[in-house]
Amino acid sequence: MGRSDVCLRGKDLLGLQNMEPAEIELILDTAREMKTIIDRDIKKVPTLRGKAIVNLFFEPSTRTRTSFELAGKYLGADVINITTSTSSVVKGESLRDTLLTVEAMGVDIIVMRHAAEGATQFAAGIVKPLLINAGDGAHEHPTQGLLDMFTMREEKGSLQGLKVAIIGDILHSRVARSNIWGLKKMGAEVHLAGPQTLLPRDIDTLGVQVHKRIEEALEGADVVNVLRIQRERQQKGLFPSAREYARIFGVNKSRLALAKPDALLMHPGPMNRGLEIAPDIAYSEQSVIAEQVKNGLAVRMAALYLMLMGGNQVETIN
Ligand code: CP
């Protein structure tokens, strides 16, 4: 598929596994244009005026939910947040009925986060509004993968040939999967390291290099992407203690020095400082963690715009 054949209008955004490289490229190029709106004094354009977006989050979120809300609002759409703890879900309303209720209000896009893998795909099969997967279990978090790739491309010029080290809790990480699928499509080399107990069983099918020691993964890396230890999904004691994890797999100053001198330090957030990442490097010179948050807004603006308005050339949005 070439750039001239790409059109995301009317398509769901469920994951990067089945996305074409040209589609990814279109979103990243459009995000660059969207980023200029965020830097304006008046961050509001009428592009999506009259469109309605619902954020339907069954799991907590700060970055994703807020940035989707701002993305819609900056583009002129109406945006409503449904937090399940204050919705009729607590009265026992099912996912299907919740979706049908939202659909009945005539919304155009539902942005959904759910603990179950495949939940957004299930939703897309039930209701007419377009669906964006804002994280489904340990499966995918496509807009995080896109914002991570956008950040790498902005900083390094291209994704082709980059050595990207992804460190930590791969097993529970939808961020890791979206990064792996996206980065490989765009020509990057992905290296993983984490405790054996936090690696998925299908790791050998993902086309990545897996290292037993974190040092091997970090050696000469262009990007170090540190994953959050998902304490909320660790009931089985998958590593001995926090102190032990930080000692063997924590990214600190001396380990970061194994990567290239100009390597980027990334983390999707929220961070467990002192566990997977040392506090003194979290916002150091090499860190682009704050830029990732800003880029997340630009990428989500691009996704909403392309899904609702289409087009395959990057236009100046006024
Ligand atoms: N990275 C990420 O998805 O953060 P939130 O859980 O705060 O949305």
CA distance 281 to 301: 30
Query: Residue-wise pLDDT tens for the chain (318 aa)?
Result: 777 789 999 999 999 999 999 999 999 999 999 999 999 999 999 999 999 999 999 999 999 999 999 999 999 999 999 999 899 999 999 999 999 999 999 999 999 999 999 999 999 999 999 999 999 999 999 999 999 999 999 999 999 999 999 999 999 999 999 999 999 999 999 999 999 999 999 888 999 999 999 999 999 999 999 999 987 766 666 777 888 899 999 999 999 999 999 999 999 999 999 999 999 999 999 999 999 999 999 999 999 999 999 877 776 677
**Atom 5 of ligand 1, nearest CA residue:** 61
CA distance 65 to 258: 35
**Atom 3 of ligand 1, nearest CA residue:** 64
Extract the runs of DSSP E, i.e. beta strands, from 120-246.
130-136, 163-167, 189-193, 209-211, 223-226
CA distance 148 to 13: 16
pLDDT, position 317: 74
Residues known to be catalytic: 63-64, 91, 113, 141
**Atom 1 of ligand 1, nearest CA residue:** 268
* CA–centroid distance, residue 66 to ligand 1 (Å): 9
* CA–centroid distance, residue 270 to ligand 1 (Å): 6
Q: 106 — phi, psi (to 5°)?
A: 80, 30
pLDDT, position 236: 66
CA distance 222 to 157: 12
Ordered alpha helix ranges (H), 125-162: 142-156
* CA–centroid distance, residue 142 to ligand 1 (Å): 12
Mutate to test the pocket of ligand 1, among 64, 147, 229, 300 (most ligand atoms within 8 A of CB): 64
Q: How far is CA 10 from CA 129, 174, 182, in A?
A: 9, 24, 21
Closest CA to 163 of 101, 116, 211, 204: 211
Atom number, ligand 1, closest to the C-alpha of residue 64 = 8
Enter the pTM of the model: 0.96
* CA–centroid distance, residue 306 to ligand 1 (Å): 22
